[in-house]
Amino acid sequence: MAEEQNKSGQRWKLVLSWLILILFVIGVEYWLGWQTVLEPWLAFSWTQGLVALALLVLSYALRAWRMYDYFPQFLTGQWLQTWRLMLIHNVLNNLLPARAGEVSFPVLMKRYFGVGYAHSVSALVWFRVLDLHTVLSFALYPLLVVTPLKRLAVPIMLVWMVLPVLVYVLRNRIEVAFAGKDGKLSELAQKAMYGLPDGWGAFWRSWLMTWANWLVKLVTLAWLLGQFLPDVSWNMLLTSVVAGELTSVLPVHAPGGFGTYEGGMVTALLPVVNAQAATIGAVNVHLFILGSSLLGGLIGWLIPLKDNNNV
pLDDT at res. 81: 92
Alpha carbon dihedral 195, 196, 199, 205, in 10-degree steps, equals 100
Confidence of residue 192 (pLDDT cuts 50, 70, 90): confident
Alpha helices in 145-259 (DSSP H): 153-161, 163-169, 171-178, 184-194, 200-228, 234-246
Residues making up the chain, counted from first to last: 311
pLDDT at res. 145: 78
Model-wide pTM > 0.85: yes
- DSSP output for 247-307: GGGSS---GGGTTHHHHHHHHHHTTTS-HHHHHHHHHHHHHHHHHHHHHHHHHHHHSPPPT
- Asked whether residue 100 carries a pLDDT value surpassing 80, the answer given is no
Report pLDDT digits (tens) over 44-96: 888 888 999 999 999 999 999 999 999 999 999 999 999 999 999 999 988 88
pLDDT at res. 142: 78
- Asked whether residue 9 carries a pLDDT value surpassing 80, the answer given is no
Provide mean pLDDT across the span 240-264. 86
Residue 36, number of CB atoms within 10 A of its CB: 13
| Residues in contact with 255: Cβ distance below 8 Å, sequence separation at least 6, in sequence order | 17, 18, 21, 95, 96, 97
pLDDT at res. 309: 46
pLDDT at res. 8: 57
| Residues in contact with 260: Cβ distance below 8 Å, sequence separation at least 6, in sequence order | 20, 247, 250, 252, 253, 254
pLDDT at res. 311: 40
What is d(CA 209, CA 136) in angstroms, rounded to the nearest whole number? 16
Q: Where are the domains of the chain?
A: 45-302
Sign of CA dihedral 52, 262, 206, 127: negative
Q: What percent of the chain has pLDDT over 90?
A: 52
Tally helices (H) and strands (E) across the chain.
15, 0
Residue 29, number of CB atoms within 10 A of its CB: 13
169, 103 Cβ separation under 8 angstroms: no
Provide mean pLDDT across the span 290-301. 92
Residue with the larger pLDDT of the pair 147 and 221: 221
- Asked whether residue 238 carries a pLDDT value surpassing 50, the answer given is yes
Residue 105, number of CB atoms within 10 A of its CB: 24
Confidence of residue 310 (pLDDT cuts 50, 70, 90): very low
* Helix axis angle, 234-246 to 275-302, nearest 10°: 60
What is d(CA 284, CA 289) in angstroms, rounded to the nearest whole number? 9
* Helix axis angle, 275-302 to 79-95, nearest 10°: 140
Residue with the larger pLDDT of the pair 132 and 97: 132
**Minimal CA–CA distance to 286: which of 254, 255, 260, 261?**
261
**Minimal CA–CA distance to 135: which of 232, 248, 55?**
248
pLDDT at res. 265: 95
pLDDT at res. 178: 81
Report pLDDT digits (tens) over 102-155: 888 999 999 999 998 888 988 998 999 999 999 999 988 877 877 777 788 888
pLDDT at res. 183: 75
Most confidently predicted of 83-97, 99-113, 220-234, 297-311: 220-234
Confidence of residue 4 (pLDDT cuts 50, 70, 90): low
Provide mean pLDDT across the span 233-258. 86
Average pLDDT of every residue of the chain:
87
Confidence of residue 14 (pLDDT cuts 50, 70, 90): confident
Could you report how far apart the first and last alpha carbons of the chain are, in Å? 37
| Residues in contact with 236: Cβ distance below 8 Å, sequence separation at least 6, in sequence order | 268, 269, 271, 272
Report pLDDT digits (tens) over 29-48: 989 999 999 999 988 888 88
pLDDT at res. 287: 94
